[in-house]
Amino acid sequence: MRLLIKKIDDDGRLSLVPQFLETSWEVEVVDTGDLDAFGRAMSRADALVSMSWKWDLASASHLKLLQLPGAGTDEIDFSRVPPCTAVCNCYEHEIGIAEYVLGAMLEWTIGLRRMDPQFREGDWAGSYLCGPLHGELFGKTLGIVGYGRIGREVARRAKPFGMRIIACTRTPRREDEFADRVDGMERFGQLLAEADFIAVTSPLNDQTRGLFDRRAFSAMRPHAVIINVARGAIIDEAALYAALVERRIGGAILDVWYRYPQQGQARFATAASHPFQELDNVLLTPHASAWTEGLLPRRNRAIATNLDRLARGEPLLNIVRAPT
């Protein structure tokens, strides 16, 4: 069996896949910038690991598996993927993202990054001696939009803090061990009206693109904080910026963006059209929530498991589109 890995991904993030394989695979690194060479390699391939597919390649007509090394499918042009090719994704990022959401809410509520430099200068503001008081997560309502793997992991961690958990999702469950209520998206407006924090964990698709618009921000509580760990485009950029500048919401914690640098590029100052970095009611991070020390080993093992299943003729896991 032959596996193709794109050259741009040959930077260590897939290096553990061979260690976890139990079946025999020959791994070939390919440069997708050279379409002729890529096409020739594809004619020999049984599987490709890639987060994107934008090619019309006749030589890929027998490819058995397009394995995504992540969850999102917004970079896959399914109309170009050969019909015989199964498309599978993988997860394993939900642990890191859930911890990020909890850490971000705790930081927003307690304010360690504010108190530390003040105290270094001898300022006791925030102490029991002179106040002011800081908040607690206990008793607050966390709204989760999109209640899949990430949303449930967030709820799993928030519940022991004494938070009330409500969620909206396309496929609601009647009962859930972590959420106090799980509704369909028809009750999205109710979630906005009740939540103190709103975690956006839904996939980006035609239904969720621009879901958070000016109308949605108007429905939120004036102190509520939105946390986006999903995709930037789920939140209308201009509407969010206006809500923050006009202080119609309490703030935003943003880990996902509207424009990205090339992979490996460390400096890039235009992640958005609006200057969010100038606002004092935001926390901003560079799509770092999932990028933890445990992510790559878990994902490499998951990819290897699916490759082993393909080699053995066993049912594949996490099928996004089945072959025809």
Known catalytic residues? 287
Looking at residue 158, its amino acid is A
For 108, counting Cβ atoms within 10 Å of its Cβ (0-12 exposed, 13-18 middle, 19+ buried), the class is: buried
Choose among 176, 165, 158, 184: nearest CA to 101: 158
Residue 163 per-residue DSSP state: -
Beta strands in 34-85 (DSSP E): 47-49, 65-67
What does the buried/exposed string (b/e) look like for 71-89 if buried means 16 or more CB atoms within 10 Å of the residue's CB?
bebeebeeeebbeebbbbb
Q: What span, in angstroms and rounded, lies between the C-alpha atoms of 56 and 205? A: 23
Q: What span, in angstroms and rounded, lies between the C-alpha atoms of 204 and 70? A: 14
For residue 48, list its beta bridge partners. Answer: 4, 66
Q: What span, in angstroms and rounded, lies between the C-alpha atoms of 20 and 288? A: 25
Which residues 6+ apart lie within 8 Å of 293 measured at CB? none
CB atoms within 10 A of CB 39: 15
Q: What span, in angstroms and rounded, lies between the C-alpha atoms of 191 and 145? A: 9
CA 179 to chain centre: 20
Instruction: Tell me the helices (H) and strands (E) count for the chain, helix number first.
Output: 9, 13
CA 316 to chain centre: 23
205, 265 Cβ separation under 8 angstroms: no
Q: What span, in angstroms and rounded, lies between the C-alpha atoms of 59 and 51? A: 19
